[in-house]
Amino acid sequence: MKILEREIGSVAYAENQTRTLPLPRNYAYRCLDLILVAKLSREIGSAGTSKDSAPAQLIKNIVIRANGRDVIKNYDMETLHRLNQIRHHTRPFINADAWALAVTSAVDNEVLQVSARIDFEMWDAIRPIDTLLDSAGLATLELIVTWGTGADLMDNNWSGEAITVHSATLYVASVESVGVPVGTTFMTNKEYVIRSQVTATSNRHQIFLPVSNLYRSIVLKTHSDGNQVNTILPWGLTDQNTITIASGTEV
The domain limits of the chain are 2-193
Q: Is the pLDDT of residue 137 over 80?
A: yes
pTM score: 0.90
Dihedral class, residue 9 (left if φ above 0, else alpha if ψ from -120 to 50, else beta): left
Q: For 177-186, what is the mean pLDDT?
A: 91
E strands in 68-183 = 70-75, 94-95, 107-119, 133-134, 141-147, 163-178
Of all residues in the chain, the percent with pLDDT exceeding 90 is 63
Tell me how far apart the alpha carbons of residues 95 and 163 are, in angstroms, rounded to a whole number.
18
User: 12 with 19: CB under 8 angstroms?
Assistant: yes
Q: What's the first-to-final CA gap in the chain, in angstroms?
A: 43
Which of 28-37, 41-50, 162-171 is predicted with the least confidence, judged by mean pLDDT?
Answer: 41-50
Of all residues in the chain, the percent with pLDDT exceeding 70 is 96
Q: For 229-248, what is the mean pLDDT?
A: 74
The residues, ordered by sequence, that sit 6+ positions from 176 with a Cβ below 8 Å of its Cβ are 3, 4, 5, 6, 26, 27, 28, 29, 30
HEC secondary structure over 31-47: EEEEEEEEEEEECCCCC
Question: Residue 231 burial by CB count (10 A; 0-12/13-18/19+): exposed, middle or buried?
Answer: exposed
Tell me how far apart the alpha carbons of residues 164 and 124 are, in angstroms, rounded to a whole number.
40
In degrees, to the nearest 5, what angle opens at C-alpha 37 toward C-alphas 91 and 13?
125
E strands in 13-105 = 18-22, 28-42, 59-66, 70-75, 94-95
Q: Which of 19, 89, 97, 90 is nearest to 54 (CA)?
A: 97
Q: How far is CA 143 from the centre of its chain?
A: 13
Q: Give residue 237's pLDDT band: very low, low, confident or very high (50, 70, 90).
A: low
Q: Give the CATH fold of the 2-193 domain.
A: Adenovirus Type 2 Hexon; domain 4 (2.70.9)
